[in-house]
Amino acid sequence: MRQLFMIVGFDLRQRIRDRSVLLFGLVVPLALMGVLNLLFSGLDESTELQPVTVAASVPADDPLASAITGALQGIGAMDVTVREVPADEVRDRTADGDATLGITVPEGFTPALTSGEQTRVQIVEGDGGGLESDVLISVTRGTVDRLTAGAEATAAGRAQGLPPDELARIAREAAAVGDRIALAEGRAADHQLTSRGTLVAGQAGLFLLFTVGFGVLGLLAEREQGTMARLQSMPMRPSTVVAAKALTGFLLGVFATSFLLTVGSMLFGVDFGDVFSVAVLVVGVVAAATSLTFVVARIARTAEQANVVQSIIAVVLGMAGGAFFPIPASGWAATIIDLNPIAAFIAGLGITSGGGDVADLGTPLLIMVGFGATCLLVSRLIPDRAAA
């Protein structure tokens, strides 16, 4: 055991001396996080809806027509000013850019609805309305749907021979039914990561696969420079050397990932939640990534080959895991992607970011353990090409 830690200490000093870990494990991923943050900043959920003006032509003293403009003014997420204008000016105001949206409600709107006649609300969308315009149209459409529902209810009452007062009451209640159904908005815990959070977690996961690779590269470098034979002739088991290299990769991975998550969260304002739970995730994903290096060590004959194989695996697993952007997939493809330890890592950080703790991390941790066990098994089954 003492010799194992001697080799680990020696390897860590070597990696610090040649600055390779510093460069590929810390500097490059942080730089990439910065670049990607600039690139994708337009997608950030912190974008606020801008104040808008609606040019509306609404008949005076028409209660259901007023409900439409009232609904627009009641949008909490955005400041909406409804400016009443004559019907023939609605299109011009909107075309001139004075209003984001124009609405024209015809005269006799309420009587028409309650009597079951066909009526029509005209919407005019201005140029460059963007997301605000979409919200206004959506709310208007929803309000009209509710009023239509009221009209349908009134028509049904009329068919039953109800008196006009009763029909008016039914129409009001049908139009207001939406107020009685409370829509509780929430998000599943594993989708709580912000886009910046996903960026930081994804880059940390992606470059972890490079960082742990320094262990296996060290192993193959020992073979190439001839020192492996000497190490194996030392009074220790051959497995000690392999274990020391794996432990070196593991420690480098834990340090680099923890560093990237910490610095990344500070630089980009991300909160990953409970520190202990995040630490458990980091250990899990680094262990899974380290186990992958055992397979690489079997496949590659030289350190150069190992570097290439490791890079390919890192990019594939990193991208599939959502290191740059989420990969939309369904069916078996989605299942395969879900079994990726980087995807599990990002999902796990989503859970902790949403307030989850270790007890909620069962699925991601299980995926990591399963991935690690599979890699170890595969590494035992395939022949060692470098030793052959």
Chain residues binding other proteins by CB under 8 A are 2-3, 6-7, 10, 14, 17-18, 225-227, 229-238
Least spacing, CB of residue 310 vs other proteins, in Å: 22
Least distance from other proteins to the Cβ atom of residue 33, Å? 31
Q: Which is nearer to other proteins, 2 or 187 (CB)?
A: 2
Q: Residue 8 Cβ, how far from other proteins at the closest point, in Å?
A: 12
Cα separation, 215 vs 243, whole angstroms:
10
**Burial level of 286, CB count in 10 A (0-12/13-18/19+)?**
buried
254 burial via Cβ count (<10 Å: 0-12, 13-18, 19+) = buried
Distances (CA, A) of 32 to 38, 130, 168, 200, 326: 10, 30, 63, 10, 17
Q: How far is the CB of 225 from other proteins (least distance, A)?
A: 7
Q: Least separation, in Å, of the C-beta of 10 and other proteins? A: 6
Question: Which of these, 86, 236, 42, 72, lies nearest to 138 by C-alpha position?
Answer: 72
* Phi, psi for residue 127 in degrees, rounded to 5: -75, 140
Q: Side-chain half-sphere of 48: how many Cα atoms within 13 Å?
A: 6
**Nearest CB to other proteins, comparing residues 241 and 270:** 241
- Beta carbons of 202 and 321 less than 8 angstroms apart: yes
With beta carbons less than 8 A apart as the criterion, state whether 109 and 33 touch.
no
Separation CA 223–CA 216 (nearest Å)? 11
Q: Which is nearer to other proteins, 18 or 357 (CB)?
A: 18
State in angstroms the smallest separation of the CB of 234 from other proteins: 5
In the bound state with other proteins, the residue whose beta carbon lies nearer, of 9 and 70, is 9
Question: Smaller CB distance to other proteins: residue 328 or 383?
Answer: 383
For other proteins, the closer of residues 12 and 112 by Cβ is: 12
CB of 34 to other proteins, least distance (A): 32
What distance separates the 2 farthest-apart alpha carbons in the chain? Answer: 103
